[in-house]
Structure 1
Amino acid sequence: MDQLEHFAKLINGWFWETDSDLRFTYLSESVTLFTGLVPEWHYGKLRTEWRSDGISDENWAKHLNDLESRRPFYDFVFCRVESNGTRWMSTSGEPIFNEFEEFLGYRGVTRDITSQMELSDKADKSKAQLLTALEIMDEGFVYYDADGRLVMCNEKYREYYPLSKHLMVPGAKFEDIIREGVRKGQHPDAIGREEEWVEERLAVHKSGNSIVEQKLKDGRWLRMAEQQMPDGSVVGMRIDITRLKIAQENAETASLAKSNFLSTMSHEIRTPLNGVLGLAQLLADTALDQDQKKKVATILSSGQTLLAIINDVLDMSKIEAGGLELEDKVFSLPGLVSTIATPFQSLADDKGIELAVSYEIDSSMVIKGDTVRLRQILWNLLSNAIKFTDYGRVQLTIELVIGKENIGELVSSPKDHLVCFAVEDTGAGIAPDRVDAIFDAFTQEDSTITRKHGGTGLGLSIVKELIKLMGGTVRVDSALGEGTKFIAYLPFDAAAAEETEEFSLRAPNSEGQKGKPLNILIAEDNEVNAIIAKAFLDKFGHSVRHVENGRLAVEAAKDDWADLILMDIHMPEMNGVDATKAIRETDIGKTIPIIGLTAEAFADRHAMFIEAGMVDVLTKPFTEQQLADTLAANRLIERRSRSRD
């Protein structure tokens, strides 16, 4: 018996027996530890005399029925409320029969499960709190088991999917729920491709690790996040992002409106500016006295300054909107630098300072990159240096960087060549505490600079952003009274052998850039711009015809007279893009070079013009030299002309 008592303690309970009348005949000594009552107190008492607490009438009746029917029972739970608290018990028993199948009584075991019940109660309370939290949260919550059957979801989740919410009951299959939603048009993206959409949605759900956006029939947008648990079940959240999407769409609309405004402003400002600069350049080539030459030079200088300001403002707006794209053209680096430095020579001479350019690169170096942006960077750096230098010199040095250990710190995207551009001056210098600020938009070293030298304060900000966009870095070394040195590192791709060869063929020859006389058709609705273009072409020795719109250009191209067409973009009746497409559809127009003329200075727009069938694009206002360079760069027109002789 001592051994039995030991077993009773090990199970945290006691053993018991009854007779055939269900009166207790035996209880192990351990019952006293749990009830405070000795075994003898129970002897002779019926089980029915000792109804415990915490039992519903229904469960008590079932228990008594089991006893009367001599059926075994297992884990019948009850409790006893005592002065020191509530104690929970679980009892199990089996009937005992002799060899004649006569009922002798019950034999069983009772265990103390108070700690388990307390843990279970805490778990139930935690579950209830969790369910309450899930119900009041603003996000939809759903839980599917490993077989894709619904375990639970909150009311917010059902609210998001009203057309299929009637199926959202425990045990419902995920596939059945989404198919019902698709059938009732709950998912606009599924219309017309229902089965394909269902398969895609099932794949996303089964992957168990996804964050996607979902549009609903009522116009709402949800961010749908799903995470697979270790047992294969899937927990999902639905967050209403409708306001965010509306704000995003409004921002995109505003950005598009801003881009359209910038495009329009670019066109409307550059078009008359082309007339001012073009006519001033033509006037400068006539017989003028010294006073007249000086005044014309002032017009040209002021126009170029205005153009630079326009470029800076438009480019800064594009940079802020993340819409500035880079071009990738083959070009001669020494040649480009030379064309940039030359115009500044007269400015330096006027101020009585020296402008020097040092080429520490191969004179035949041909690379690939955005010539427009590189020109803009060097133009701003040289312009600043000359503007703020009253005596001494300005030095531009171009150097090929080789073998630097910290090359990764100098560029964000290393390429075939790393070129260092250094612009150093002997000007007033910059205070140490102002060095970083000079790269901020609309910022200058001090407020007196604007009054003395002019400018928007955008130039260096543009420089920094363009260099960053091109994958390079820029730094400045300066001290008050000791001048300033800007050092820019820019990566470039090397031109392939065939690209270099083609560039050499297209480059200006020793006989000049005008080439063989051509028949050139100008499609331009602005009379002043047409006069300027014709005057430049007349100087080159070309024959010119002029039409006022795209429709007339298409008709004129059918005559097979023109060797080349200069096509304005914005024209009445038919624009330049549509006219180019129409010409390309004719047999004669398949090979004729068409060069776009536009006041839109954005690379994405230029790319659209090229895609329409133009071979090149020239931005207004353009100079005589730029027009000559463009004709030379498209020298294939000469081969077409010679084929007619």
Structure 2
Amino acid sequence: MNWILNCLVVEHDWRLTLLAAAVCVVGLATCITLIGMARRGGQRTKIAYGAAAGLVGGLGVWATHFLAMLGYRADALIRYAAGETLLSLGIVVAGMLLGVAVALNGGSRLTRGLVAILAASSVAAMHFVGMSALHIEGGAIAWNIPFAVGAVAVSMALALCTALWIKRDGWWRIPGNTTFAVLSVVSLHFGGMQAMEIVPDPSSVLSASLITESGLLVWVVGGATVVVMIAAFVTVVGLWGRTTALGHLREAIDAMPDGLGFYDSDDRLLIWNARYAEVNPEVAPALAVGVRFRDMLQLGLDQGLYEDAIGREQEWMQERLTARRSLSNSMEQQIAGNRWLRVQDRRTSNGGIVTVVNDITDLKRDAVSLAEARDAAEQASRAKSEFLANMSHEIRTPLNGVIGLTQALARTPLASDQREILDLIQSSGHTLQTLLSDILDLARVESGRLEIADEVFDLPRAVNDAAQLYREPAADKGLQFFVEIEPEAAIWVRGDVVRVKQVLTNLVSNAVKFTSTGFVRMTASVGKDRSGAPILRFTVEDTGVGFDAAAKARLFTRFEQADGTITRRFGGTGLGLAICRQLADMMGGELDCESEPEGGSAFILTLPLHAADAPSAPAVPTQTVVDPTEQRIRVLVADDHPTNRKVVELILSQAPVDLIQAENGAEALEAARAQAFDIILMDMQMPVMDGLTAVREIRTHEIASGREPAPIVMLTANALPEHVAQAQAAGADRHLAKPFDAAELLALVAELGGEKQQSAAAA
């Protein structure tokens, strides 16, 4: 350390030494700054800034060296050789340019270490070449090799310190790298000067062609001037870029659609945009640099802006300020005049607060409008459901009279022409019943009110039940009718047995309807889908009229059939297949078909296979079996429509039944209290007391009197699933929708009435 101080203080002019140090700092800082600008620029600016960085760095180090040499105090006359002086400048500029090029093509520590070595090596080469340009009157230069090597090693080590940073970006990058670079240059120069010794050499005579110290000073001052000019240019460009960036940022802030205000750590306003004043017009005149947020709140409170603060102003202000001091806060604030603002506060790392304000008055109004529209839609949906239920009831009630009376009439002696007329009436009635069911199913599917059940059922039985209905119509047309269930499909499964049977029944019905000769076959099998999951596959084949590809494309569309003549030839509305496909989709399956004109058709229904265990059979108690034909079955029928009561009376007149009639639920309740019945047939919609209320009252009376519950069947035109659920909840045992089949009613009365009598006999 002493030798360095001695070299600086004793052997050098301190004024030129300080000037050399200043030139070194400015030159290297400018070089590092230009490298950073080159990294951030495009390809062209990258080359320009990189070249300027290498030139400024080389000039700065070269000027530093020769300024320090000019400050060196020697007893003899000194001159400088122009060739070696210029060569030293070329070496250091070339080395710096090479180092900058490497730095711009990589950012790893290894690359930065290589850049440091290149720069330090070029500086060392420049130093010793520059020293070779030194000529002394009557003397020669000798070197202390260990000192020289040590100076170069220290310079290299300090230069490598610039590669220590984990991140190359940051505010400390320029001052940190500049410090190490300057120390590297200074240690090399003054360490090298300490390694230099001047020995007497009488033969050393200075030539007139050598550069004097004043001439060298002009060179060095010129180089230093270039460095200072470039440094000034870089500073101006940087300040201009910063000002431009701030201007762009200010323009961007002003153009924001949201109001933005920035407050310092003391909650004083620093920056805001025009929108911030627009969404706060009441406090806009008070907006100024340094105004406190609390004062702005107080101004709003004085004007009565915040409706939720009226009567509790100070408490409200404290709550607002407390919420604002949190790291992040968001709130919706109602302003006088039925305006709404969404206010978001975000705290910065330095304790400042960024406040973003949006006017959401239109959003609030839209939300109210949407809520009103939703309520109106829900009301319309309820009205639609009520209308659907009422239409179902009002259509089924007279239709029940038509079908029931024709069935009762069919059991009486009729002439052949009367029988033909009656058959036409029955066929029309059944067509109306099918059409009504299809329309109601379609309405429930579209409204999302149709639910798919999940229950265990016997698959072979369901398939046979669906096919059995059309075995006789097929035989009447002379068709062969096959039902094939593969052994793998003879299992119990989980699903909606009602909807499965509905789809299969519709497919079999169409097959029988559209086939004049040949056969109809329904098969059930087990397979796998494309992903390998197990599926159920139902195929309904026929040798009927068939259809082409164009007809297939519209076959599953509502109110569409294969061609326009089908409705006239075979009847139907074209709703059945559309509903079947929708039901298949709701059950997680698919419905498709294959056909060709006059070549028959094949409809394929695939459903996910959810195998289940067969339920355990309930234990059959030993009891006395009573033949229902030997005893009269006591039946109570409650219906406000006289035609429906007459239909039930005519149908049940063929069985051993004692029938009691009631016109409303109140009369039915009185009759049930007066005597016990083997079965009660209850309508749902009746005056005075509706059927559901009557069922609940009857069940309450049975419990209170200790009487055994009578089987209750809801015999009603309310046939929607929610009606069935309501009846079960009230206490009904069965639900038979109007219009009903006479045989179905007789079987139901015989079953439930017989069970009641057997239970009474066993007791």
Alignment check: 8 A CA contact 1:518 1:641 kept: no
Cα–Cα, structure 1 residues 182 and 571, in superposed 2: closer, same or farther, change >3 Å?
A: farther
Which residue of the partner structure matches residue 720 of structure 2?
602
* Match status 1:434 vs 2:548: no
**TM score, norm. by length of structure 1:** 0.64
Which of 573, 596, 604 does residue 688 from structure 2 map onto?
Answer: 573
Q: Which amino acid aligns with 2:584?
A: I
Which residue of the partner structure matches residue 617 of structure 2?
501
Which of 477, 481, 492 does residue 594 from structure 2 map onto?
Answer: 477
Alignment check: 8 A CA contact 1:427 1:482 kept: yes
Deviations along 1:606-628, whole A, 9 cap, x unmatched?
21222222232211111134335
Alignment check: 8 A CA contact 1:419 1:490 kept: yes
Which of 589, 593, 602 does residue 711 from structure 2 map onto?
Answer: 593
Structure 1 CA distance, aligned partners of 2:708 and 2:268? 62
Shift of 1:228: 10
* Match status 1:359 vs 2:485: yes
Deviations along 1:96-117, whole A, 9 cap, x unmatched?
xxxxxxxxxxxxx997533222
Q: How does 1:46-445 map to 2 (within 5 A)?
A: 112=236, 113-130=239-256, 133-134=257-258, 238=360, 239=363, 240-328=366-454, 331-360=457-486, 367-399=493-525, 401-402=526-527, 406=531, 408=533, 418-445=535-562
**Residue ranges of structure 1 left out of the alignment (5+ in a row):** 14-29, 31-108, 136-140, 160-168, 186-197, 409-413
Which residue of the partner structure matches residue 557 of structure 1?
672
Shift of 1:216: 9.4
Which of 627, 638, 641 does residue 745 from structure 2 map onto?
Answer: 627
Shift of 1:599: 1.3
**Residue ranges of structure 2 left out of the alignment (5+ in a row):** 1-18, 32-55, 57-230, 282-291, 312-318
Cα–Cα, structure 1 residues 443 and 280, in superposed 2: closer, same or farther, change >3 Å?
A: same
Shift of 1:123: 0.8
Moved more, 363-372 or 548-557: 363-372
Cα–Cα, structure 1 residues 632 and 323, in superposed 2: closer, same or farther, change >3 Å?
A: farther
Cα–Cα, structure 1 residues 595 and 155, in superposed 2: closer, same or farther, change >3 Å?
A: farther
Shift of 1:4: 1.5
Cα–Cα, structure 1 residues 493 and 183, in superposed 2: closer, same or farther, change >3 Å?
A: farther
Shift of 1:402: 4.8
Shift of 1:128: 0.9
**TM score, norm. by length of structure 2:** 0.55
Partner-residue secondary structure (3-state), 1:614: coil
Structure 2 CA distance, aligned partners of 1:7 and 1:247? 73
Structure 1 CA distance, aligned partners of 2:570 and 2:333? 55
Structure 1 CA distance, aligned partners of 2:542 and 2:642? 44
Alignment check: 8 A CA contact 1:597 1:618 kept: yes
Shift of 1:246: 3.3
Bigger CA radius of gyration: 2
Structure 2 CA distance, aligned partners of 1:278 and 1:604? 25
Deviations along 1:149-177, whole A, 9 cap, x unmatched?
99999689889xxxxxxxxx95799xxx9
Which of 14, 20, 23 does residue 2 from structure 1 map onto?
Answer: 20
Partner-residue secondary structure (3-state), 1:585: helix
Structure 2 CA distance, aligned partners of 1:375 and 1:488? 12
Which of 622, 644, 651 does residue 529 from structure 1 map onto?
Answer: 644
Structure 1 CA distance, aligned partners of 2:692 and 2:343? 45
Structure 2 CA distance, aligned partners of 1:300 and 1:123? 84
Alignment check: 8 A CA contact 2:555 2:562 kept: yes
Partner-residue secondary structure (3-state), 1:566: strand
Cα–Cα, structure 1 residues 361 and 594, in superposed 2: closer, same or farther, change >3 Å?
A: farther
Cα–Cα, structure 1 residues 621 and 208, in superposed 2: closer, same or farther, change >3 Å?
A: farther
* Match status 1:452 vs 2:569: yes
Structure 1 CA distance, aligned partners of 2:723 and 2:609? 23
Moved more, 571-580 or 531-540: 531-540
Partner-residue secondary structure (3-state), 1:584: helix
Structure 2 CA distance, aligned partners of 1:566 and 1:277? 18
Structure 1 CA distance, aligned partners of 2:449 and 2:240? 69
Which residue of the partner structure matches residue 465 of structure 1?
582
Cα–Cα, structure 1 residues 374 and 601, in superposed 2: closer, same or farther, change >3 Å?
A: farther
Q: Which amino acid aligns with 1:576?
A: G
Structure 1 CA distance, aligned partners of 2:447 and 2:268? 46
Q: Which amino acid aligns with 1:276?
A: V
Cα–Cα, structure 1 residues 234 and 315, in superposed 2: closer, same or farther, change >3 Å?
A: farther
Alignment check: 8 A CA contact 2:489 2:524 kept: no
Cα–Cα, structure 1 residues 402 and 242, in superposed 2: closer, same or farther, change >3 Å?
A: same
Query: RMSD of the TM alignment (CA)?
Result: 5.0
Structure 2 CA distance, aligned partners of 1:627 and 1:420? 34
Structure 2 CA distance, aligned partners of 1:227 and 1:425? 73
Q: Which amino acid aligns with 2:700?
A: E
Deviations along 1:522-575, whole A, 9 cap, x unmatched?
211122222333444454434332211111122222235123322110101111
Q: Which amino acid aligns with 2:424?
A: T
Cα–Cα, structure 1 residues 505 and 359, in superposed 2: closer, same or farther, change >3 Å?
A: farther
Partner-residue secondary structure (3-state), 2:740: coil
Shift of 1:274: 1.1
Shift of 1:485: 0.3
Alignment check: 8 A CA contact 2:639 2:645 kept: yes
Alignment check: 8 A CA contact 1:330 1:500 kept: no
Aligned residues: 497
Structure 1 CA distance, aligned partners of 2:698 and 2:543? 56
- Structure with higher helix content: 2
Structure 1 CA distance, aligned partners of 2:677 and 2:709? 11
Which residue of the partner structure matches residue 603 of structure 2?
486
Cα–Cα, structure 1 residues 335 and 633, in superposed 2: closer, same or farther, change >3 Å?
A: farther
Partner-residue secondary structure (3-state), 2:688: coil
Alignment check: 8 A CA contact 1:359 1:397 kept: yes
Structure 1 CA distance, aligned partners of 2:464 and 2:405? 25
Structure 2 CA distance, aligned partners of 1:361 and 1:215? 70
Deviations along 1:157-208, whole A, 9 cap, x unmatched?
889xxxxxxxxx95799xxx9xx776779xxxxxxxxxxxx9xxx9xx9999
Cα–Cα, structure 1 residues 420 and 551, in superposed 2: closer, same or farther, change >3 Å?
A: same
Structure 1 CA distance, aligned partners of 2:500 and 2:328? 47
Which residue of the partner structure matches residue 729 of structure 2?
611
Alignment check: 8 A CA contact 2:506 2:576 kept: yes
Structure 2 CA distance, aligned partners of 1:283 and 1:298? 13
Structure 2 CA distance, aligned partners of 1:430 and 1:328? 35
Cα–Cα, structure 1 residues 129 and 483, in superposed 2: closer, same or farther, change >3 Å?
A: same
Partner-residue secondary structure (3-state), 1:355: strand
Q: Which amino acid aligns with 2:451?
A: E
Cα–Cα, structure 1 residues 348 and 223, in superposed 2: closer, same or farther, change >3 Å?
A: farther
Cα–Cα, structure 1 residues 600 and 471, in superposed 2: closer, same or farther, change >3 Å?
A: farther
Partner-residue secondary structure (3-state), 2:674: coil
- Structure with higher strand content: 1
Alignment check: 8 A CA contact 1:221 1:242 kept: no
Partner-residue secondary structure (3-state), 2:555: helix
Partner-residue secondary structure (3-state), 2:661: strand
Q: Which amino acid aligns with 1:501?
A: A
Cα–Cα, structure 1 residues 142 and 365, in superposed 2: closer, same or farther, change >3 Å?
A: farther
Structure 1 CA distance, aligned partners of 2:400 and 2:755? 25
Which residue of the partner structure matches residue 70 of structure 1?
none
Structure 2 CA distance, aligned partners of 1:389 and 1:120? 84
